[in-house]
Structure 1
């Protein structure tokens, strides 16, 4: 039931892992605010997110809006199935930069 934000020194990504839920929202918000200081690019890696609820979604939307407001380029560079499911359900995938590729989806035989 934990989530954390860490910066990788190799590519300077913001990595979140664990749950992105109401139970971790306050801690994650504080870490994200700190991670955005003096940043021109925000590469967000959500590949290790195991669960996301509406509070987690609010954090993602806040992060994107904040990046846009301060002139920081926002990119969602990786995401888990849990994140993709929520974004697809609410039709927010394109807003956060996830575009479904019809060529990679299975075609019926």
Structure 2
């Protein structure tokens, strides 16, 4: 992770609520990138593309995965510090009716 990304998740009490929301949205926007980089790695193996392309995609995959996991970990710690009751954290309706794994596997089957 770059030093800029580390700074983004560092402990800073001067961050206001809008900046925290922006951080959460940034983390959320990178989650699909993880699957995209994983797919690109598989594609480069299947088409016998260069090792360099595979390595670039694998590097991007792991960097993005680290970015997302670090950001989510920070958000969880912030919620624990704020002692937010779990009842107040309502999941998105889409995920309540259909588990995320089901969505992923359905989409994967559709693509195959």
Normalised TM-score (structure 2): 0.34
- Larger Rg over CA atoms: 2
Select the structure that is richer in helix: 2
Normalised TM-score (structure 1): 0.35
Select the structure that is richer in strand: 1
